[in-house]
Structure 1
Amino acid sequence: MTSLENIPVKYSDLVSEIETGQVKIPQFQRKFVWGIKASAKLLDSIIKGYPIGTFIYWRTNERLRSIRNLGNIMLPEPKEGEYINYVLDGQQRLTSLFASLKGVQITDDDGKIFDYSKIFVDLTANEDGEIIVTDITDMEPNTFIKVTELMEGSLTMLASFPEKYHSILEQYKKIIQSYTFSVINLKNAPIDVATEVFTRLNVGGKALTLFEIMVAKTYDAKEEFDLSEKYDQLKEELSISQYDTIPSSTVLQVVAILLEKDCTRKQILKLEKQRFIDIWNEATDCIKKSVDFFRGYGIVVSRILPYNALIVPFSYFFYLHKKNPIGSMKKRLEDFFWRASLGFRYSSGVESKIAQDIEKIEAIINGELPKYGWAVTIDEEYIENNGWFSTGKAFVKAILCLYAKQKPKSFDNNLDVIMDNSWLKIASSKNYHHYFPKSWLKKEFKDWDYFYVNHIVNITIVDDFLNKRTIKTKSPGVYMKTFQKHNDELENTMKSHLIDIAKDGVWDNDYDKFYRARLKRISKALNKFIIPQESLSETPLEVYEDIEEPEIEGIE
């Protein structure tokens, strides 16, 4: 049972615990930022007998990732099985205190060196003034002493000061040596409780993410396992495949699903460290196989993946089925992808729905067609009602996946349009081209509702260069003639964008005809991927909110 223990700690014990590695700064703590002047004020409070606040430790024999010792001072690791005090509150004060009393040099991230030995005791100061100072420019020799020399200097060195200062030197040294520091130990607490305490104590700071907690929890120096470094390595490997935007939350969900078929925050926190470490390589291998499947299917960049959460059930598929799916199994897996993407499957209640969908993946592997509890009706009305263009909407991303599957060609030369995550990051990207430019429509068709102008039906994926230099705000009837002069295969080029320039009113700038023709074509193309079946519960047609894909609560 979690308990709190209030312990008074003397100077010598506090310093000894730090020097022997029994006090550590967990990875989720922010870096040491106190300067020399702030540290001097802290010591001034101590020498005047003022309270400096309580240090709160989490006392445990768990080994966490501690990327920082006190102020980046390299201290020894405690013996295996020994208890460690991880600092939950008071890191800045504790680091400042230790650095000042030991006179160490600390190097910041920019390489700047701070010398904490340059903190002095003013032997001439009265109680109302500053006793601990950093500026001795105008002070007379032998009227000041370094704090480090006061605490660790020999009797001979101290005796070399004028006799009138001997008693004050002895007094100040005793005050620091006998100062009682207030320490509260949080004992027998699981890591999620400890990090919750940390978050509440640091209300001005950012709440810890689940990933930060798991980085600390799964760290193992002996096995050289550092989740933060492993995740960075995975992202670097996936960057080659244009899938480096997969968030850490999704990776944690994959691991939890493979181990427990449950990816709730509570379950992730309960995962045993060794099991987590043991399955890591296989889990990341399953993620890579999922990425290969999506890319082979035509979804060549992660930006247009409707939900990051889709990585989880697909990774589970490759965990149980080591080979690429073929035949009816492939069709059923595709059916699952489009049902989840077009049916707003992971727009809410993500964790529980992923767990439910694991059963569907198992059914597919067993040669069965899963029964789905949500309806997917991909008719023209449904696409029209849900097609407001926003790159954060899963439904819109699903249509972009359809566009990508057609391997869209460049208008000017019929070569493949190269898709890149950085180009497709925002809706205003020049790679998302309104085939009938918004400004032109606004000028020529003032009565058109803007909803139908900024619609996924009016979006094509093009080269950035074309949008900036050639298309601009011209009507398609004008700018397409420019491409017609240089591209003898323009008709086939536009079919790769699901547009028939001979039939869709392009040359006449007939937006209504174009809109209706392409809407029908998109509906027909999508329905090829859906295996018809009666849904367990029919969902009424509705227009969904234009919201960004949500992250799992408490993870990111």
Structure 2
Amino acid sequence: MSPTNYVLDGQQRLTVVYSCFGAPEVETGFSAVYNLLEEKFEEFVEPDPYKFNLRNIFDTTKLLNFRAGLISHKDSAVLQQRLDKLVDSVHNYKFPVVTLKDLSIEEVGVIFERINSSGTKLSVYDLMVAATWTQNFSLDENVQEILLSLETKRFNDLEPNTVLKCMAAVNSASVKKKSIFELRDLKEHEISLLTERTKDALLKSVDFFSNEFNVFGSDFLPYEAQLITICYVFSVFKSLSSSQAIKLRKWFWQSSFGERYRVGGENFLTNDLESIKKYLEESEAIDSMDFGALPNARDLEKIQFRKNNSRSVAYTLAMSLLKPRSIVNGTAVELQQSLSVYNQRNFHHFYPKAHLKRLNNDDNANAITNIIFLSASDNISISDADPVSYVSDCVSNLEEMTDDVFSSNLLPAPSKFDYTQESFESFISERAKLIEAYIKSLIG
């Protein structure tokens, strides 16, 4: 076998042991043989009268037939002795066994975490894969099938645990651990059916996110909980009415800007699943449900633009709906490239950081109120220029389009805001008011 060293986790080790010693001879997967002539293990390539297939080591008939076939070799006695030694070492290998009775799957997981030699920590997903595995069914294969179906939507990098929570939500409107562990009680055909339902709901969810909010990849999803919630919604409602779609849009923006899922665990989200279902079913006023407190203008002045900040992500998505145009030349900013990954070159500090640093005024340079969309080439052309000079150039280039272009970026209109005279602080304050009003319009 190759001298290359491989590091395998616990599940992979068991898979290799099974594939070598327990799998049927005709089953695909890794298969090993013992070369009796050279006394070494090798990967199975094709049948050989002097290479014993380890998959037959517990099959008495095949073992004896192979042993008898060695008689034709001139050193048959030596080869048979080597085979007997191999069989004896495997058949008489002693495994320490501890039988645990009447323990929950969570308790078994804790015990495993304490005694496994590699220090591997089992997740809920790992426990579920192990608990539901049969010769004909693998939960992991079903989850990977769902993830593969999301590949073209750029959502295939979701954590398997997230998919498992979606399955639990679809099955029982709950993401509590108890509900997740209850999935192992489903019959094989029931969990296969659940996999299909979850896949269908997730595909609809991803389409909804991309069509309604320009979420072109999982990186631009403010919260995992939002995907689970929408997946649950599409498993309950096969299609949405116009009023239900409006309510869902309100819920998304309010839960994002209101940081609904910043804190709160499985019970919190489970309760929200029931709330959102009731919210969509009843013909009540759209603003009758509270899904988080919105930031006001003063809050917006302080929020920093960071990848892992839900309000930053929500701000970016909300801005994209305005179809912003370049303040340099008025051309449309290419959004899908910017929103499919965090392409920092497509985000521009309106007051460049280097410029603010020269003024010793860069403490709030990364505020979302100082961030706009801009193509990489236009970003480079502005570089670290003072807005007093480059905004004047932009106004000259844009001419009568100036106010419209600035408005598409939620920037104060140059016809009403004198960029040559106003300070960075006054710009931040004025733009925060515009953003606050825009967020309210998205929800109201």
Range of TM-score over shorter length: 0.7 to 0.9
1:455 is aligned, of 367, 376, 383, to 367
- Select 1:75's aligned residue among 23, 43, 53: 23
Q: Do structure 1's residue 471 and structure 2's residue 386 form an aligned pair?
A: no
CA contact (8 A) 1:342 1:394 kept: yes
- Give the secondary structure class of the aligned counterpart of 1:263: coil
Matched, 1:306 2:219: no
SS in 1 for 2:419: coil
Alignment: residue pair count: 403
Look up the SS of the partner of 1:433 in the other structure. strand
What's 2:260 paired with? 345
Secondary structure in 1 matching 2:94: strand
Write the distance in 2 (CA, Å) between the matches of 1:178 and 1:317: 54
| Structure 1 residues 479 and 279, CA gap change in structure 2 (3 angstroms) | same
Q: CA-to-partner distance for each residue in 1:213-233, whole Å, 9 max, x for gaps?
A: 3344445664xx544444444
Relative distance call for 1:477 and 1:291 in structure 2 (3 A) is farther
Shift of 1:326: 0.9
Distance 2:395 2:154 in 1: 32
Superposition deviation, residue 104 in structure 1:
3.8
Asked if residue 514 in structure 1 is aligned to residue 432 in structure 2, the reply is no
Would you say the 8 A contact 1:255–1:283 is kept in 2?
yes
In 2 relative to 1, CA 196–383 (structure 1 residues): closer, same or farther, beyond 3 Å?
A: same
Pick one of 126, 142, 146 that aligns with 1:212.
126
Alignment partner of 2:175: what SS? coil
> 331-340 or 345-354: which moved more?
331-340
Separation (CA, whole Å) in 1 of partners of 2:165 and 2:83: 60
| Partner secondary structure for residue 460 of structure 1 | strand
Partner of 2:284: 368
Of 243-252 and 387-396, the range deviating more from structure 2: 243-252
Deviation at 1:306, TM superposition (A): 1.4
Instruction: Provide closer, same or farther for how the CA distance between residues 116 and 343 of structure 1 changes in structure 2, counting only shifts above 3 A.
Output: farther
Q: 1:463 to 1:242 in 2, by over 3 A?
A: farther
The residue aligned with 2:237 is: 321
Offset of residue 374 of structure 1: 6.6
> 1:185, CA displacement in angstroms?
4.9
Cα distance, 1:219–1:363 mapped onto 2, change above 3 Å: same
Conservation of the 8 A alpha-carbon contact between 2:143 and 2:164:
no
Q: How far did 1:465 drift?
A: 3.1
For normalisation by structure 1, the TM-score amounts to: 0.61
Q: Give the 5 Å matches for 1:97-136.
A: 103-106=40-43
The question of whether the paired residues in 1 share the 8 Å contact of 2:324 and 2:408 is answered with yes
- 1:73–1:106 CA contact under 8 A, matched in 2: no
- The answer as to whether partners of 2:410 and 2:434 remain within 8 angstroms in 1 is yes
User: Partner of 2:352 in structure 1?
Assistant: 437
How much has 1:519 moved relative to structure 2?
Answer: 0.2
2:259–2:292 contact (8 Å) kept in structure 1? no
1:340 & 1:347 partners in 2: Cα distance? 9
The equivalent position to 1:157 in structure 2, one of 65, 68, 75, is 75
Report the alpha carbon displacement of residue 100 of structure 1 after superposing the two structures with TM. 8.6
CA separation in 2, counterparts of 1:175 and 1:235? 44
1:161-189 alpha-carbon deviations (Å, 9 max, x no partner): 9xxxxxx9999889858956243154556
Give the match for residue 334 of structure 1: 249
Residues 170 and 198, structure 2, Cα contact 8 Å, conserved in 1: yes
State the one-letter code of the partner of 2:407: K
- TM-score normalized by the length of structure 2: 0.75
- Aligned-residue sequence identity (percent) comes to 21
Instruction: Name the counterpart of 1:392.
Output: 308
1:461/1:303 Cα in 2 relative to 1: closer, same or farther (>3 Å)?
Answer: farther
Structure 2 gaps of 5+ residues are 1-7, 45-49, 53-65
In structure 2, do the counterparts of structure 1 residues 236 and 406 end up closer, same or farther at CA, with 3 Å as the change threshold? farther
> Distance in 1 between the 2:233 and 2:77 partners?
77
CA contact (8 A) 1:505 1:514 kept: no
Query: Does the Cα contact within 8 Å between 2:220 and 2:340 map onto a contact in 1?
Result: no
Q: What are the superposed Cα offsets for residues 419-452 of structure 1, whole Å, 9 maximum, x if unpaired?
A: 34786437xx2222211111111112x2x361x2
Q: Which residue identity is paired with 2:162?
A: T
Deviations 1:359-399 (A, max 9, x none): 221222222358656751432123234x1221111122222
Distance change in 2, residues 1:174/1:423 (3 Å): closer
Deviations along 1:233-266, whole A, 9 cap, x unmatched? 4444434334444332222112111211211233
8 Å CA contact 1:408, 1:417 repeated in 2: no
Structure having the higher strand fraction is 1
Secondary structure class of the residue paired with 1:105: strand
Distance 1:159 1:308, change over 3 A: closer
Q: Which has the higher helix share?
A: 2
Distance 2:311 2:204 in 1: 24
CA distances 1:317-358 after superposition (whole Å, capped 9, x unpaired): 22222223413x333322322232122221222311211112
Change over 3 Å in CA distance of 1:173–1:449 after alignment to 2:
closer
Quick one: structure 1 residues 257 and 282, their matched pair in 2 at CA, closer, same or farther if it must change by over 3 Å? same
Q: Which has the higher contact order (CA 8 A, sep 6+)?
A: 1
1:263-274 residue pairs with structure 2 within 5 A? 263-271=175-183, 272-274=185-187
| Paired residue type of 1:312 | I
Supply the distance in 2 between the matched residues of 1:116 and 1:454 (Cα, whole angstroms). 67
CA gap of 1:492–1:278, structure 2 versus 1, over 3 A, is same
